[in-house]
Structure 1
Amino acid sequence: MPAFQTSPGMRDILPADTGRWRRLNAVFADVVGAAGYGQIITPLIEDVGVFTRIGEATDVVTKELYAFEDRGGRHVSLRPELTASVCRAFAQHRPAALPWKVWYSGPNFRQEKAQRGRYRQFDQVGVEVLGVDDAHLDVEVIALAAEFYRRLGLTQVNLVVNSLGEPEDRAAYVAALETYFADADLTEQSRSTLAKNPLRVLDSKRTEDAEAIAGAPKISDFYSTEAAAHFDMVQAGLVRLGIDFVVEPKLVRGLDYYRRTIFEFQGGTLDSAQNALGGGGRYDGLVEALGGPATPGIGFALGVDRTLLACEDEGVFAEESAPLDAFVVDVVGGQEAAAVTAELRNAGLSADRGYDNRSMKAQMKLANRSDARFAVIIGEDELAADSVVVRPMARDAGDQQTISRSDLISHLKETLDLS
């Protein structure tokens, strides 16, 4: 066993898997870029206060932050999520053009128990829109996530939506839950949660809590006229776009900053206790809490790992192998391979080569393992004649040919239909 391995809850993503990660990010960038969203890249480390604003009673803040004091004596944290970082950036830079539409991708860190599809370092893609208070924008944001899943080929993704109402509605609802759950039969864990945040009791997946939660008051009974109208507009907009959804009164999401619209995408092939692919909602008030002006906002974050698990379960968005165009075999010292490989790459072809001055047989084995379409062979005769041998690597792909060195690139492009 090696002396060092990954830390608990961390893992390496090896080249065999990283291709899908790059493609997933490219698909997401295409979807949201077409809607006018620009990419933002925020630091991995922020002042810890940026994240305590997301909810002092949440597990993210109380149990999961990678928080520490840096060498300058500053209290900082690895970011556990990106919404607060984006809102901090908005408060700091004060963009004039509103709405401010941004998208992001990258890792976050939470010191939690590793699960299938969730690690202590986990990647997300997401969007945030700041500066507009309009139910139609809520619909646009939800529709972007739905389109992203459609582009990946996923069909067993379920959308659930809810509204937490205005802050006053939420406060009245929390008080009603506190009263109701005080006499309910709850597990010890939910009792602890109740003392910190009654809303989070509704998140419990423990079967012992199910009966009590099923009988709990519903947030819809506490909506103001404005909150009810906003949620009605969101639902009507989703119907107009043909996006299927279910209203789930028990959906509360995990962070304290949400107001009004909240939503979650769930993978139909995943275990019900860990089926959330991603979600989000409206968080009016977060920018203000971070020192900026009162600014409405809405966004979502989607988990890359669980999304790819769902793709595997449904047999879509598989890893695509990209065979090399050419593998250069040089048995005259290696300098010719260096030159030819560089020429091929500069011409837009993918190419690799052998090293360590290996024999022809050894280099041809490497060419076979590389899955290259062609081997480009340079021996003493070819060097003297300023030519190369081009050998198809697939069976029944034709015979090898000896061609002029100067014709190599045009020959390969024509054969590969890249001209």
Structure 2
Amino acid sequence: MKMKNILYMMVLFIGFSACKKDRVVSYEIEKSFPDPAVRFEDFKKAMATGTDGFQMIIETTAGPIYAGYIKLDGSNNAKFVSDNNVTNATTPKDTKYTLAISQTNSVLSFSKTGNFSLFAAGIAADTSYTYKMSVGDTLKLSGNATGTKLKLVKVTKAVGDDYLAGKMGTVFTSIDNLNKFKKYFKRLTTGGKSYDIMFDIPTKSLIFMYSNGTDWATFKSKIYYTNSGVVLTTPFVDGANKISSIENLAVDVASSTATLTSGGAAATLTNEISPVAVNKTAAATFISKPPQGTYAESFTGFTINGVADGLGTTSLSGFSSLDFVAKVTIGTASYSSLRLYLATGYYGYLPAFTCTTPADGKLFCKLAGYAGTSTNATITAGVISYTTVITQAEGFYVIPTTAITGANTYDLVNARDATAWISFH
């Protein structure tokens, strides 16, 4: 039986082979990757659709997110503005670019000696980008050296004209004007809720301080600038309130107020003398565990009525830092002190005060007197000047600023009227 089956299979095989003897059948092989030339044509077409330019959003592998606007003329010339500083946000710069195939990649490259390369070097971004995909009005590219992410979003002519007219620079000015308010607390009110906000320009961040219902809380998001405001890369959500951008910011420095829109809804900014919520444990922690172990140091002195170093402390001869020392021993008693550290060491004349941190969360420093020897009348006057502030009877709010700095840092804000504050590291 088995022999019959074998013979039968051999006959079928011989017959099947004879049918194919006189011809070779070929099958088309499906390509695993698109033809580079075809993909490049798609890339060029996608770039050409941005006749009125693109908003550009640049995300480096470390650090802030940058943004701006770029318009390519189709002949290897481009104009752009960027939000790395107010000058570049205000004044368009020219640069050269090319679209080409590199190996099998469709690539957008900027001249290595042009203005875009100078901008890129300053923010540690790439100058050559491989096209990845298009989604709606957005083109996504990836840097060829460090992996910088570049998004190009098509905009209308009106938006492009605003960028080229320097409108993004006016956003810088508006935010800078907020920092001229005389009081520390800048209160955003929207959707029936209030938040203390703070723009941190060096890190391009926006910080919210608020009550989460039971405790003091903070939220931080990176931001980038547009022609009309700033966008939060991570929206702030508090119940029904969702803040993903701040736009149309109009600041009146004289009245310390501002208006704006967020998500299309009108909102206000006011300047307040007390926080929307108090961190009840921060003052005690600041005293018991200062950032430097036994002390905390300030390199900027007191801001007074919105004026940095309003007491002139950093201008004193030999100034190095102003140190809040949690414990100094004078005779047989222990005190706290705010000591002036000069190039030669601590100045010999110092205030001595006792500190308390009651349940309301404030820090109170009561002056007991001065110790040591005065050897310079001007410096001694400076010591007395800042001591008068730190020992105000109303005390100080202690604001942890770790969310801003990423380190163990605090701002001390006078509770009398929030017109005097100092940052400690």
Which band: TM-score by shorter chain? Answer: under 0.3
TM-score where L is the length of structure 2:
0.20
In terms of fraction of residues, the more strand-rich structure is 2
TM-score where L is the length of structure 1:
0.20
In terms of fraction of residues, the more helix-rich structure is 1
The structure, 1 or 2, with the larger RCO (C-alpha pairs under 8 Å, 6+ apart) is 1
